[in-house]
């Protein structure tokens, strides 16, 4: 979009002519990727590096701003009529025009399974501007350890590629855990980089042969750990077992990135309800979320109390809820729900 | 609640369970086809709006003015009825598309979406046809039920119903102010803050249709202005007709508050069925009514995507037949005739208030076969 056109479309005149809809609603008639300010994109390439992952190259519209190394986005895609949103780390270097993410199959996750099995170039995706403080440093440290497992490799790739692109690659040990060589995402790319860059030392560990991370393997691979800043990313179990090893060996900063939440899931479908804005916590054992809010002394808007009027719709930051009509249990994040027909089925954080 | 005497508590409970099962079945099958349907409606509405407004810029030519006004009318009707009304009911929330989110959607109408969700989604849909609770009964200016006290002013209601039809969106916008409660259980301060929200919305709507688009058209301004006015008029009259056919036909039941105390879910369903009336028609007709030709289905399941009402209509009708209940439906002309009759009849003082069981129990003497 030419800057002058964008300026005209963002003007208050254009907004007044489109009211109560937005200019984007009309731009969608030309191309659904067009928007005056929302970053959206189309999938340009889908490459399967391993049997259970897919690397997507996305061509964003020009609302996309370049991310910092190690940042992530909320990625939205329509599947069977429903827009799903998931967080993914950006794997590409920040100065590339396109955007690269790699998605690993995640149990029975609807989005990851669809992307790994069926996604094709051309599909429209909804993006957010990149967020995250995994790499807060303006300049690289003298020595670094990038320690990852599974799909935790993706933000590492972004940091590594950013250093190389800026010609500022420090002395790096890149240590990665995968189940087997066939399961390792970015293995070829990393092998190539390790050949080209003398200051990059690549340590590949395959748990099916080498076992999980231990004090001995860490000491052997990174003897000068106490001189390195560390970036750590991987599944929750991996992170939990690495943290004490690092604590015992270094006082230098350790940066962590973790997407799997450590949320408690109660056995009988209860949990704790946290009302974020009023900073009140309540037990979610009895009643609908609306009743729990009221018992906690809050005063959320409501109407019919039977799920038909949508007056009590409220945003859940994160949590597990049970729909009282269908009994369906759902993990949700940044989603609006009707409080009167949902109960807690685990911990829930509500923006109230 | 007061209900047809041929139904026992167990009958009503079973009726509720059957309807719950029907709802479950449809809601579990929502998917790609439904999304395709609503996106097609959205595109049609936006194309017809753009084309209509473009043609009105050439409005000095009578065919362009007529076609432009027609397309803009279609766009406004689709937007209010099939898109706005239904999105604000939460019918498309399952898609998680912010453009169709009931929490944020606002329609092309002088009534702010938030106000409307209170007076319509909550008051009207929860307390359907309960005199004194559902303010859609007469929109606080008409007498539509024997249970409303007669006053000589109602003699003129056949006249002012025409004014309401022509300015329907304005009636709807002012509806939730509930002026008759002012100074009683509603404070002036509350009404004032509501009034400010309504004014904000009204200003934007008026600016768009009656100032900005005409101004952009320069010398063509009068044609754009009149075209926009005609389109708003057409949409007003059309939505008025459909809405009145949905609840105020001759056979539509009215309820008293004491009949509906401690109502069960099954009794609530039953009241929705008896209070609503359908209009028969073709698929394009139903799309243009926002599927409110299936008012009964809509009142049973207000948050079910509207395109599914066509599919469940026959099933709901079969359930009604099995329980020996009136499934109020008919062609547009007949339903409209019934509405006119009710408006005229209620303009006159009625001999006495209805007492005892509901009229439908008089129509149906046989026991339920369920």
State the Rg of chain A over Cα: 23
Beta-carbon contacts of residue A184 (< 8 Å; ≥ 6 apart)? A50, A153, A176, A178, A204, A206
> Nearest-CA neighbor of A55 among A157, A128, A146?
A157
pTM assigned to the model: 0.88
Kindly provide the ipTM of the predicted complex, given to two decimals. Answer: 0.89
Whether A13 sits inside 8 A of B212 (CB atoms) is yes
Residues in chain A within 8 Å Cβ distance of B35: 78, 80-82
Three-state DSSP class for A123? coil
Q: How far is B333 from chain A (nearest CA, A)?
A: 31
Cβ(B271)–Cβ(B262) below 8 Å: no
Residue whose entry in the numeric block shows the structure tokens 């409220």: A314
User: pLDDT tens digits for B164-182?
Assistant: 999 999 999 998 888 878 8
Strands (E) across A105-228 are located at: 124-126, 143-149, 171-178, 200-206
pLDDT score of B362: 36
Q: What is the pLDDT of residue A259?
A: 63
| pLDDT score recorded for residue A264 | 36
pLDDT band at B353 (very low <50, low <70, confident <90, very high): low
Please tell me which residue of chain B has the smallest CA distance to A13. B212
Q: Which of residues 287-326 of A touch B (CB under 8 A)?
A: 303-304, 306-311, 313, 326
- pLDDT tens digits, residue range B221-278? 999 999 999 999 999 999 999 999 999 998 899 998 888 888 999 999 999 999 999 9
Q: Which of B359, B349, B360 is nearest to B150 (CA)?
A: B349
Compare all CA atoms of chain A with the CA of B214 and give the residue at the minimum distance.
A17
Question: In chain A, which residues have their Cβ closer than 8 Å to the Cβ of B268?
Answer: 306
Which of A83, A304, A336 lies nearest to residue B126, judging by beta carbons? A304
Closest partner CB to A29 (pick from B36, B47, B95): B47
Which one of B103, B205, B268 has the shortest CB-CB distance to A313? B103
Is A80 in Cβ contact with B50 (below 8 Å)?
no
**E strands, chain A, in order:** 40-47, 53-60, 72-79, 82-89, 99-104, 124-126, 143-149, 171-178, 200-206, 229-233, 254-257, 272-275, 280-283, 313-323, 329-338, 342-350
pLDDT in tens, chain A (352 residues): 888 999 999 999 999 999 999 999 999 999 999 999 999 999 999 999 999 999 999 999 999 999 999 999 989 999 999 998 888 999 998 878 899 999 999 877 788 999 999 999 999 999 999 988 899 988 999 999 999 999 999 999 999 999 999 999 999 999 999 999 999 999 999 999 999 999 999 999 999 999 999 999 999 999 999 999 999 999 888 998 999 999 999 999 999 987 654 333 333 457 899 999 988 999 988 889 999 999 998 888 887 788 877 878 899 999 999 988 878 888 898 888 999 999 999 999 999 9
Q: Using CB atoms and an 8 Å cut-off, which of residues 56-85 of chain A contact chain B?
A: 78, 80-85
Count Cβ–Cβ pairs < 8 Å, chain A vs chain B. 103
Q: Do B32 and A13 touch (CB under 8 A)?
A: no
Q: Which of A14, A19, A23 is nearest to B202 (CA)?
A: A19
- Tell me the average pLDDT of chain B: 91
Among residues B249, B246, B252, B244, the alpha carbon closest in space to that of B363 is found at: B252
Q: Report the chain A residue with the minimal C-alpha distance to residue B111.
A: A20
CB A19 within 8 A of CB B204: yes
Nearest in space to A205 (alpha carbons), one of A183, A231, A230, A232: A183
Q: Could A306 and B97 be called an inter-chain contact, meaning their C-beta atoms sit closer than 8 Å?
A: no
pLDDT at B232: 98
Residues of B in contact with A336 (CB under 8 A): 93, 101, 103
Q: What is the pLDDT of residue A95?
A: 79
Cβ-based contacts of A25 with chain B (< 8 Å): 42, 46, 99
SS3 category, B236: helix
Cα of B21 vs its chain's centroid, Å: 25
Q: Do B96 and A303 lie within an 8 Å CB cutoff?
A: no
- B contact residues 140-199, partner A, Cβ 8 Å cutoff: none
What residues of chain A lie within 8 A of the CB of B117, using their CB? 303, 309-311
Pairwise CB contact (< 8 Å): B204 & A308: no
**A91: nearest Cα among A119, A65, A61, A130:** A130
Which chain A residues are within 8 Å of B57, Cβ to Cβ? none
pLDDT of residue A305: 81
Structure confidence at residue B89 (pLDDT): 96
B112: nearest CA in chain A? A20
Those residues whose C-beta lies under 8 Å from the C-beta of residue A228, and which sit 6 or more positions away, are A141, A143, A144, A145, A173, A222, A250, A252
Q: Are strands A171-178 and A200-206 parallel, antiparallel or unpaired?
A: parallel
Contact A61, A48 (CB under 8 A): no
Q: How far is A238 from chain B (nearest CA, A)?
A: 33
Q: What is the pLDDT of residue B228?
A: 98
**E strand or H helix at B315, and its extent?**
helix B309-322
Q: Which of B46, B85, B213 to mutate to test the interface with A (most CBs of A within 10 A)?
A: B46
pLDDT band at B367 (very low <50, low <70, confident <90, very high): very low
Q: Is pLDDT above 60 for B364?
A: no
Q: Provide, as residue numbers in chain A, all residues whose Cβ is less than 8 Å from the Cβ of B106.
A: 20
Q: What is the pLDDT of residues B302-351, one digit of tens each?
A: 999 999 999 999 999 999 999 999 999 999 999 999 999 999 999 999 75
Query: How close B28 comes to chain A (CA, Å)?
Result: 9
Output the six-digit token pair for A283.
Answer: 């037990």
What is the model's pLDDT at position B351? 59
């Amino acid at each position: 979009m030419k800057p002058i056109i964008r300026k005209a479309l963002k003007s208050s005149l254009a907004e007044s002519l489109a009211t109560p809809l937005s200019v984007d609603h009309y731009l969608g008639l030309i191309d659904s990727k067009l928007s005056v300010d929302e970053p959206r994109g189309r999938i340009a390439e889908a490459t399967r590096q391993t049997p259970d992952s897919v690397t997507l190259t996305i061509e964003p519209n020009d609302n996309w701003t370049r991310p910092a190394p190690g940042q992530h986005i909320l990625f939205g895609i329509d599947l069977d009529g429903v827009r799903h949103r998931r967080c993914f780390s950006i794997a590409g270097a920040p100065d590339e025009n396109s955007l690269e993410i790699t998605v690993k199959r995640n149990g029975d996750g609807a989005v990851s399974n669809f992307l790994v099995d069926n996604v094709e170039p051309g599909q429209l995706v909804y993006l957010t501007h990149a967020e995250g403080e995994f790499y807060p440093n303006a300049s690289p440290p003298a020595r670094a350890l990038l320690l990852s497992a599974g799909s935790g490799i993706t933000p590492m790739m972004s940091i590594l590629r950013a250093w190389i692109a800026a010609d500022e690659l420090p002395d790096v040990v890149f240590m990665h855990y995968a189940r087997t060589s066939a399961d390792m995402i970015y293995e070829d790319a990393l092998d190539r980089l390790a050949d080209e860059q003398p200051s990059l030392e690549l340590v590949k560990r395959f748990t099916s042969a080498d076992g999980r991370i231990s004090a001995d393997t860490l000491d052997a691979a990174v003897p000068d750990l106490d001189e390195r800043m560390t970036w750590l990313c991987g599944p929750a179990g991996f992170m939990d077992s690495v943290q004490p090893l690092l604590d015992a060996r270094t006082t230098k900063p350790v940066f962590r990135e973790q997407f799997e939440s450590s949320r408690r899931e109660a056995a009988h479908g209860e949990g704790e309800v946290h009302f974020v804005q009023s900073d009140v916590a309540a037990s979610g054992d009895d009643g609908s979320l609306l009743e729990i809010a009221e018992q906690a002394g809050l005063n959320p808007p409501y109407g019919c109390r039977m799920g038909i009027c949508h007056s009590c719709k409220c945003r859940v930051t994160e949590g597990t809820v049970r729909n009282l009509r269908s009994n369906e249990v759902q993990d949700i994040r940044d989603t609006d729900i009707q409080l009167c027909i949902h109960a807690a089925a685990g911990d829930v954080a509500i923006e109230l | 609640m007061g209900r047809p005497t041929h139904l026992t508590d167990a009958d009503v409970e079973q009726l509720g369970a059957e309807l719950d099962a029907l709802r479950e079945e449809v809601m579990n099958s929502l998917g790609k086809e439904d999304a395709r349907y609503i996106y097609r409606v959205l595109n049609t509405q936006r194309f017809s709006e753009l084309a209509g407004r473009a043609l009105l810029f050439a409005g000095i030519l009578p065919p362009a003015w007529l076609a432009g006004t027609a397309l803009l009318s279609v766009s406004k009707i689709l937007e209010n009825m099939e898109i706005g009304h239904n999105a604000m009911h939460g019918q498309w929330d399952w898609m998680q598309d912010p453009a169709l989110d009931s929490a944020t959607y606002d329609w092309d109408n002088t009534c702010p979406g938030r106000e409307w969700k209170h007076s319509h989604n909550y008051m009207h849909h929860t307390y359907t046809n309960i005199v004194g609770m559902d303010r859609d009964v007469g929109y606080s200016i008409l007498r539509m039920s024997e249970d409303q006290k007669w006053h000589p002013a109602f003699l003129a209601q056949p006249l002012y119903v025409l004014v309401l039809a022509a300015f329907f969106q304005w009636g709807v916008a002012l509806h939730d102010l509930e002026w008759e409660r002012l100074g009683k259980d509603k404070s002036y301060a509350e009404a004032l803050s509501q009034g400010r929200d309504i004014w904000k919305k009204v200003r934007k709507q008026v600016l768009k249709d009656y100032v900005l688009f005409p101004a952009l058209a320069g010398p063509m301004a009068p044609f754009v202005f009149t075209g926009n006015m005609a389109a708003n008029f057409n949409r007003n009259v059309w939505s008025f007709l459909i809405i009145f056919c949905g609840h105020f036909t001759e056979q539509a039941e009215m309820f008293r508050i004491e009949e509906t105390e401690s109502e069960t879910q099954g009794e609530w369903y039953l009241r929705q069925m008896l209070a609503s009336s359908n209009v028969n028609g073709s698929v394009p007709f139903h799309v243009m009514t926002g599927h409110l030709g299936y008012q009964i289905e809509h009142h049973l399941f207000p948050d079910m995507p509207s395109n599914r009402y066509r599919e469940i209509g026959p099933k709901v009708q079969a359930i009604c037949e099995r329980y020996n209940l009136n499934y109020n439906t008919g062609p547009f002309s007949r339903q409209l005739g019934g509405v006119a009759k009710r408006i005229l009849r209620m303009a006159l003082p009625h001999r006495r208030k209805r007492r005892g069981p509901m009229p439908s129990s008089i129509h149906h003497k046989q026991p339920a076969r369920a």
